[in-house]
């Protein structure tokens, strides 16, 4: 939403509160507004606290409050709140999905698998649950076959799960990235050759995916024409987007890598991390840290990439970083033979630290 739309939404919320200041829904709305629209977590929590005070059995208010606790790195408090929401609405598949998402980040693999399995039992077409169950199998044991099975029954529009990408697997597509984990680059590329591209978004999505696949396959020269097309589109898109949108910059960083503009790629990735630090948002900020580590690995900044990897292995970052994932993920190939990287692979996964 642009600033004018946000102001209109806030005006409508204020009118609703003036009409009925004791309505729990009237407080849920500003809670969502501050959470999604302004990313003002403290203000959002105040509104949600009031909504829950007025209606303690409202699972939506508790779900949003749990999500905010997670972004503030209060993981245990968040899980407790998600569990309470699930007690209130045991048939809602999105709640166990969010519980599983937290366990995945915390590298509590068996708990994550249990939560996603429950979510899919409630809704077999739950794309979010299917995707994260696949991530759980990949990152806990490196079992690609089980990861593929997690997608069984999920609708084909799963490719649109991440319309904006921060790490390269999101840019390529998590289903296709399973092929890359098996080093089957031609299969992944072929999947995107036949993907629809009849809209601007679909065309750009296909371009980005093909660029990412060819880059990880070491085919930068072959990819350059498509890299240049993607650069023009992404730079134009970035110029129109609000300053707080750093996902477009993350995608453009990979295109710059493909074109040999390593310094520009590093600049964009570092600017995103500075703007979205984990201290501000532990849930999204971690993804930008992963993205930066990946860019550093491909730009010759091996020591910096390894420093970030060591940090990511002990904080809640299990969606994209685990010892099992490091062993098979081609994004780390540029630093795979580095002694420090080999040391990471030879040691047990460290305990994830969280509160």
Buried b / exposed e along 188-209 (16+ C-beta atoms within 10 A) = bbebbeebeeeeeeebbbbbbb
Write the DSSP assignment of 82-109 as a string of letters. HHHHHHH-TT-THHHHHHHHHHHHTT-H
- What's residue 159's pLDDT? 44
Domains 1-85 and 158-355 share a fold: yes
Question: How far is residue 1 CA from its own chain's centroid?
Answer: 20
The DSSP result for 240-280, as a single string, is HS-TT--HHHHHHHHHHHHTT-HHHHHHHHHHHHHHS-TTT
> How large is the average pLDDT for residues 8-30?
74
- Radius of gyration of the chain from Cα atoms? 21
Of 192, 191, 187, residue with least CA distance to 217: 187
Both tokens of 168, joined, read: 């390269």
pLDDT digit string, tens, across residues 21-64: 777 777 888 888 889 888 899 999 999 999 999 999 999 999 99
Residue 350: pLDDT above 90? yes
Q: With 0-12 CB in 10 A as exposed, 13-18 as middle and 19+ as buried, what is 21?
A: exposed
Residues 320-342 have pLDDT tens digits of 999 999 999 999 999 999 999 99
Domain 93-154 classified CATH 1.25.40.10?
yes
Asked whether 13 and 26 are in contact (CB, 8 A), the reply is: yes
pLDDT at 194 over 60: yes
Q: Where are the domains of the chain?
A: 1-85, 93-154, 158-355
Q: Which residue has the higher pLDDT, 251 or 1?
A: 251
Q: By the 8 A CB rule, do 175 and 156 touch?
A: no
Measured distance CA(161)–CA(135) in Å, rounded: 13
Residue 332 tokens read as 């780390």
- Based on the number of CB atoms within 10 Å of its own CB, is 41 exposed (0-12), middle (13-18) or buried (19 or more)? middle
Total residues found in the chain within this entry = 355
Specify the residue for token string 């500003």. Answer: 30
Full DSSP string of 26-80: HHHHHHHIIIIII--HHHHHHHHHHHHHH-TT-HHHHHHHHHHHHHTT-HHHHHH
| pLDDT of amino acid 26 | 75
Residue 48 near residue 80, CB atoms below 8 Å: no
Quick one: average pLDDT of 79-98?
98
Distance CA 321, CA 107 (A): 9
Q: Which option is the CATH number for 158-355: 1.25.40, 1.20.58, 1.20.1740, 1.10.3470?
A: 1.25.40
**CA 154 to CA 162: how far, in whole Å?**
15
CATH number of 1-85: 1.25.40.10
């Amino acid at each position: 939403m642009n600033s004018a739309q946000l102001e209109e939404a806030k005006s409508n919320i204020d009118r609703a509160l003036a009409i009925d200041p004791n309505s729990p829904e009237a407080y849920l709305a500003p809670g969502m507004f501050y959470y999604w629209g302004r990313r003002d977590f403290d203000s959002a929590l105040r509104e949600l606290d009031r909504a829950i005070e007025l209606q303690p059995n409202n699972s939506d208010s508790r779900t949003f409050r749990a999500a905010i606790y997670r972004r503030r790195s209060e993981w245990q408090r968040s899980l407790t709140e998600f569990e309470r929401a699930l007690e209130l609405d045991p048939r809602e598949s999105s709640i166990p999905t969010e519980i599983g998402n937290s366990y995945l980040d915390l590298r509590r693999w068996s708990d994550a698998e249990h939560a996603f399995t429950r979510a899919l039992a409630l809704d077999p077409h739950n794309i979010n649950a299917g995707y994260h169950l696949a991530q759980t199998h990949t990152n806990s044991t490196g079992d690609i076959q089980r990861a593929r099975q997690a997608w069984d029954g999920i609708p084909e529009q799963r490719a649109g799960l991440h319309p904006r990408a921060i790490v390269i697997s999101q840019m390529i597509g998590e289903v296709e990235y399973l092929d890359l984990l098996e080093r089957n680059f031609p299969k992944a590329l072929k999947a995107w050759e036949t993907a629809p591209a009849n809209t601007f978004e679909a065309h750009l999505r296909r371009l980005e995916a093909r660029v990412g696949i060819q880059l990880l396959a070491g085919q930068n020269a072959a990819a350059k024409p498509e890299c240049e097309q993607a650069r023009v589109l992404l730079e134009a898109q970035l110029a129109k987007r609000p300053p707080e949108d750093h996902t477009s910059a993350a995608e453009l960083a990979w295109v710059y890598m493909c074109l040999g503009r390593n310094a520009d790629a590093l600049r964009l990735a570092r600017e995103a991390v500075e703007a979205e630090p984990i201290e501000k948002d532990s849930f999204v900020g971690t993804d930008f840290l992963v993205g930066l580590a990946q860019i550093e690995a491909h730009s010759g900044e091996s020591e910096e990439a390894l420093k970030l990897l060591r940090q990511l292995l002990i904080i809640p970052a299990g969606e994209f970083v685990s010892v099992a994932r490091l062993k098979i993920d081609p994004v780390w190939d540029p630093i795979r033979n580095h002694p420090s990287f080999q040391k990471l692979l030879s040691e047990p996964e460290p305990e994830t630290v969280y509160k």
